[in-house]
Amino acid sequence: MWKKIIMKTTFVLFALVILITPSSGIVWTCKYENPPYGPIEIKYENPNFPDKGIIYALTPQRHPIIVPGELQLLQLKSNVCEEVKLIIEDTEGNKIAEYSKKADIPFKNCDIPNDADQGMINAIKRSKGFLTYLFFKAPTEEGEYYLKLFDTQNNLLRTGVIEVPSLDSIAKVTSREAYCNNSPTNFFTIELIAPHPVIVKDDSAGEVQVTIREPSTSEIEKIFENITVSFTTSESVGIELQPKEGITCSDDECTKTYLLPSSISTSGILTVWEDLGNGGRSSLNSMVVSVVDANTVVEISNKLDRLYNTSEELERRYSKEGIKEKSEKWGEIKEELVKIKEGITSIKKILDKQKLTLRDVKEVVNNIDNCKENLNRLSEKIGGIL
Amino acid sequence: MNNKVVVLFIVVVIAIAIFATAYYYYESIKLREKKLESDIERKQINEDIEFIKEALENLSNAFPETNLPS
């Protein structure tokens, strides 16, 4: 009896070791963090409706992280084309907001064409199903919130949980992945940390960090030797980031800083790669980051100063010649320029800070939007008199 | 009859004179305005506006509006 048990256990253990031993490289995935949905954790799925209102992804808009009061995109898929209701509740069950949306794909607002037969509908169900893009605003107060999805008959389909950070928290993006190394008990985590946004100033590149946690720091150094970090945007194939000198270690973790240069403001994907040899590599961790070129803000500021001086000069000249109408118009243009200048000065001040809070980042984005609106108005005014 | 023709002639001459004076005055203002805004200034204003527009658009790219899957 005992002999049988021991033999069976040995066999199972042996099979497990075979299954999880990596064939090449130093790592293999034992991921237990970062669900594929984005920053949402699924808490409940109604077993009676396994194919309705499936949470496919949550994508924060304009930022790579959930920012209080900012737009979020919840992607849902379903085997039925119908309206889905989203109720946002706090942990005490108070309703914060309610949204409703009909599926968008393949038929906008579920307007199924008359010539669509059952065969077509079944083919849609078999492939991607009916997709719904539900935009909602994240609650403005810090805390944990439930996202509850209901169908048209008010059946609770799914519950997800999101964490809304405080506006005063430091704006940063992090992504952590866990891996096993040689033995299943020997876990290490690889964490990507970047400020939000990564700021590039003058000639100095932005900085992002990779932190590796593992019981043995000598192992960590070996892992660092074997990894590279890249940044890819929709416009570029990807640049390899150069590491800054030295690694900082404390207890069981070490951090290495990488330099992210950019001559433009953009959004892209930061990836940590494991070198597999023979030119091969595999992704260990990745995340979306925003990069802001602070030099652009300085250039805008200089151009605004020049425009202000020119409009002031033209206002003076017209006033002197007694051409009141044009003098007044250049005066109005000057006022508009002051508004834009105030917005740009505020952005510049914020970007000069060492660490930005989420409130700062929101202000930067709001100021960019306002400056764009004011500039369009100004452009129309100038076009009317030039 | 002759008097009427003379009056009509005078009226027409005065009208032409008024029109010519107004036109001359209008053209001279335009000319003066043109002198007040040089071509270089106008070009520079347009270039600066275009530059700021593009730069603001560039800054916005760091915070993309929507991220719908393709």
The arithmetic mean of pLDDT across residues A288-313, rounded, is: 94
Taking the CA of residue A194 and the nearest CA in chain B, the distance in Å comes to 14
ipTM score over 0.90, yes or no: no
Query: Of residues B7 and A4, which shows the higher confidence score?
Result: B7
The arithmetic mean of pLDDT across residues B5-25, rounded, is: 91
Cβ pair B60:A368 closer than 8 A: yes
Give the pLDDT of residue B68. Answer: 62
The arithmetic mean of pLDDT across residues A280-287, rounded, is: 90
Residues of chain A in contact with residue B64, where contact means CB-CB under 8 angstroms, are 61-62, 267
Cβ pair B59:A368 closer than 8 A: yes
**Residue A79 three-state SS:** coil
Q: Does A345 touch chain B (CB under 8 A)?
A: no
Cβ pair B66:A63 closer than 8 A: no
- How many Å apart are CA A190 and CA A179, to the nearest integer? 8
Contact yes or no for A230/A238 (Cβ under 8 A)? yes
Q: Which of B45, B52, B54 to mutate to test the interface with A (most CBs of A within 10 A)?
A: B52
> Helices B39-60 & A358-385, crossing angle to 10 degrees?
150
Give the residue carrying structure tokens 């810090």.
Answer: A142
Give the pLDDT of residue A300. Answer: 96
Sequence-separated (6 or more) residues with CB below 8 Å from residue A134: A73, A74, A75, A76, A84, A86, A99, A101
Tell me the per-residue pLDDT of A167-205, one tens digit each, with 9 for 90 and over.
999 999 999 888 876 566 667 889 999 999 999 998 789
Instruction: Give me the total of CB pairs closer than 8 Å, taking one residue from chain A and one from chain B.
Output: 102
A100 token code pair: 């409703």
- How many Å apart are CA A242 and CA A223, to the nearest integer? 16
Stated length of chain A: 386
**Residue B11 three-state SS:** helix
Contact yes or no for A134/A77 (Cβ under 8 A)? no
- How many Å apart are CA A308 and CA A314, to the nearest integer? 10
**Residue A181 three-state SS:** strand
- How many Å apart are CA A260 and CA A199, to the nearest integer? 9
A171 token code pair: 């704006």
Cβ pair B59:A318 closer than 8 A: no
Closest alpha carbon within chain A to B41: A310
Q: Compute φ and ψ for A156, nearest 5 degrees.
A: -75, 120
Q: Is residue A106 reached through a cis peptide bond, with omega within 30 degrees of 0 on the bond before it? A: yes
Residue A121: CB atoms within 10 A of its CB come to: 16
Sequence-separated (6 or more) residues with CB below 8 Å from residue A256: A209, A210, A224, A243, A244, A246, A247, A248
- How many Å apart are CA A291 and CA A10, to the nearest integer? 53
Which band of pLDDT confidence, cut at 50, 70 and 90, is reported for residue A8? very low
Q: Does A11 score more than 60 pLDDT?
A: no
Taking the CA of residue A21 and the nearest CA in chain B, the distance in Å comes to 35
Top-confidence range, A128-132, A222-226, A264-268: A264-268
Q: Does A105 touch chain B (CB under 8 A)?
A: no
The arithmetic mean of pLDDT across residues A360-377, rounded, is: 95
Give the pLDDT of residue B36. Answer: 63
Entry pTM? 0.79
Q: Which of A65-74, A146-155, A270-279, B37-46 has the lowest mean pLDDT?
A: B37-46
Q: Does A317 touch chain B (CB under 8 A)?
A: yes
Q: Does A29 score more than 70 pLDDT?
A: no
Tell me the per-residue pLDDT of A55-114, one tens digit each, with 9 for 90 and over.
888 999 999 999 999 999 999 999 888 899 999 999 999 999 999 999 988 888 888 887
Q: Compute φ and ψ for A49, nearest 5 degrees.
A: -130, 65
Backbone conformation region of residue A38, classed left if phi is above 0, alpha if psi is from -120 to 50, else beta? left
